[in-house]
Amino acid sequence: MTNLFRLFRHPEDLRDLTPDELQEKLISNPVVIDVRTTREFEAGHIAGAVSIPLGQESSAITRWPADADVVLICKTGHRSQAAAATLLRQGFRQVSHLKGGMDAWRRASKPVV
């Protein structure tokens, strides 16, 4: 149980973004990684997001530099926190996530493709 708690706790260096903040941030073209399952991603995602299901996010280390501006997304914000912890341990320095996940994005009537 302790390991599960550690997996989903909020990393200190992780910045929470509201749907409005993320929509503004998208103008600067950050790397948007959606860590939901492929099925969830295909049912609707943020334009420009890349699907890398939770557990595979370490592949990001070979796709983008450590100084890339990375935003993580999941359904509720919990899986994205876990993925963020992995990326931060791997040396990524600009990691944020959508607080409340796609549920919050949809509640805020933001666009989904």
Q: Catalytic residue numbers?
A: 74
- Exposure string over 16-44, b if 16+ CB within 10 A, otherwise e: ebebeebeebbeeebbbbbbbeeebbeee
Give the rounded distance of the alpha carbon of 72 from its chain centre.
1
